[in-house]
Amino acid sequence: MAKNLNSKPTKELILDAAFSFLERPFFSSFSMNELAAKVGISKPAIYRHFKNKDDLLDAMENRIVDNMADLLKDIASKDFETTKKSLAGLIRYFIENPSHINYFIAQMSQNPNYEDRLFKRLSERNVSFTDIEKGQPFYLDNFKTDMSLFAKHIFSGMSLMYFVKLQENLRSEGKIAGMPHDFSEKVVNLLLNGFSGTCEKDNPIYPQEITRERQKELFDLCKISEDSFPAENRIFTALAAVIEKYKMGGVTVERIADELGMAKSSLYEYFDNKNQMIKTLVNKELLLLETIANENTVEAKNFTEYILIQMYSELEYFMHRPSIIPICGWLLMSNDNSFEENQKKSEECNDYLEVWVKWLPERINSPDLGFPYSPKMLTTWAGVLPVAFLVEAKGKDLSKEKFMEGFNFMIDYIFNGIK
């Protein structure tokens, strides 16, 4: 392709076009022919710059990691304000480049322990993650043994993604005209200081003291016995197995039928198509989770207890139904509207914010994000963290004690921050 002084090099144009397939958070298994058509060059021309598709994907990742490394080079600074600026800069970067954060969502949905690879590549670029106060390694060697650092990593990474996608959704739905110029700084303030450092003491969201005895009562309240939990649908189990085997792009009705040991035509006796099958099964599971959480949160005496019960209820549910985690990831990254429809259906159900939480104002300004919002944004934030924790803990061979230690650290970060 000819290039004038004002145009980008062809290699960069190819990368730009590749990222354009991830403008929305869907897994898009684009072909090299489709990529060439988007750039306006021939397919062989792509191979003059990239040996194969894997080489192209690696270059996409390098572009993001290089940018991240530049933003995070001062993350370990002893100057706390400099550290805050690094984190805020990273949030702004992902807000301005939605396809880049969607790339990470796709990778994390498909590849177990993807963060290990990401942090290794950042460390190769001389990014050093250190604890702000203790000056100890934030990740690397002791990441899998120090549960406070393990939980801090999950809390920070998932929270960053949540708030980046939150502002994107609010803008696309027209619920806010535009992002406050200091939105990134406000999110960092919330992550570092939690509810206790961002709310006045008379605010119902301000954390209330919970005794060890009461916390144990709430945890026991949320426990689910095996004999009281409904058996998982066989098709649901088979779908999860297919996702594990063939990743996001390999889910077909034929493979689900093979996993079940039955003919493809037999599945169509119950469902018209794959999407209807998945939506029906997932909606059933979402309703079960919602019912369990709503029944348990009746016991909450304040917002702090509500968050504890919500997170413990989700933990118990996903521990009994681990197959739903890869399925939700698949729906998120599938190039159809199934996941969005499921989210809307969940919102239309008998409001997840039951009992005393409805006593809160419909719109709140604290913690300050720069615009008024519903309390559900905070409970949804707390709700995504147990899933992230379970995904990250998988394969780490953590003892039950270590697992719960890390999970409780993560809850504490919501209330008191990671500062």
The domain 206-359 is placed in CATH, from the list 1.10.10.10, 1.10.340.30, 1.10.357.10, 3.40.50.1820, at 1.10.357.10
Residues 6+ apart with CB under 8 A from 296: 221, 222, 309, 312, 313
| Cis amide bond preceding 322, omega within 30 | no
pLDDT in tens, 399-415: 899 999 999 999 999 99
**Tokens describing residue 144:** 């899998």
The percentage of residues in the chain with a pLDDT greater than 70, rounded to a whole number, is 84
Q: What mean pLDDT is predicted for residues 318-322?
A: 89
**Tokens describing residue 405:** 């230690």
pLDDT of residue 342 exceeding 50, the answer is no
pLDDT of residue 335 exceeding 50, the answer is no
CB 88 within 8 A of CB 185: yes
**Tokens describing residue 162:** 């949540």
Taking domain 1-50, whether its CATH number is 1.10.10 is answered by: yes
Q: For helices 114-124 and 98-110, what crossing angle results, to 10°?
A: 130
- On average, the pLDDT of the chain sits at 83
Q: What is the pLDDT of residue 215?
A: 94
pLDDT in tens, 83-131: 889 999 999 999 999 999 888 877 776 676 777 788 888 888 888 765 4
Confidence class of residue 226 from pLDDT cuts 50, 70 and 90? confident
Model pTM? 0.85
pLDDT of residue 418 exceeding 80, the answer is yes
Calculate Rg over the CA atoms of the chain: 22
Confidence class of residue 329 from pLDDT cuts 50, 70 and 90? low
pLDDT in tens, 238-263: 988 888 787 766 778 899 999 999 98
Confidence class of residue 2 from pLDDT cuts 50, 70 and 90? very low
Strand spans (E) along 344-398: none
Domain boundaries, the chain: 1-50, 71-201+366-380+398-419, 206-359
